[in-house]
Amino acid sequence: MAQVVDTFVEITHRVIARDGFDGYLPTLLLPATKKLLVLEGAPQDETLSGVAKRWAEDNAGTADFVVVFKADARHFDVVARIDGAIYERREVVNDA
């Protein structure tokens, strides 16, 4: 599963490099079903983290997931649930 998280982070970096980071929306990967979801209309303030995490958990149910969302102008957060354990890390946007 760690490889799935790393690959999703790499893809996220490529999307940001191509499309920019200003309008980046929270994105959820459900590895078991290979489903990818985007949260439109998410708040662009300090409540985004909680909103994105709840949205990911609601959509994943009990399944593993990886969600990425904008933390600030230079970083995005990665939250993964793997076998019930939550892992979080912050990534620097490559072109920021």
Calculate mean pLDDT across residues 4-19: 94
Between 14-18, 40-44, 60-64, 76-80, the lowest mean confidence (pLDDT) is in: 40-44
Give the span between the Cα atoms of 95 and 1, in whole angstroms.
27
Range of the domain at 33: 2-92
- Per-residue pLDDT at 43: 79
Q: Give the number of domains in the chain.
A: 1
pTM (predicted TM-score): 0.92
For the chain, the distance separating the N- and C-terminal CA atoms, rounded to the nearest angstrom, is 28
Contacts of 29 (CB under 8 A, 6+ apart): 4, 8, 35, 36, 65, 66, 67
The total of other beta-carbon atoms located within 10 Å of residue 34's CB is 7
Beta strand 75-82 with 65-72: parallel, antiparallel or unpaired? antiparallel
- In tens, the pLDDT along 56-84 reads 999 999 999 999 999 999 999 999 999 99
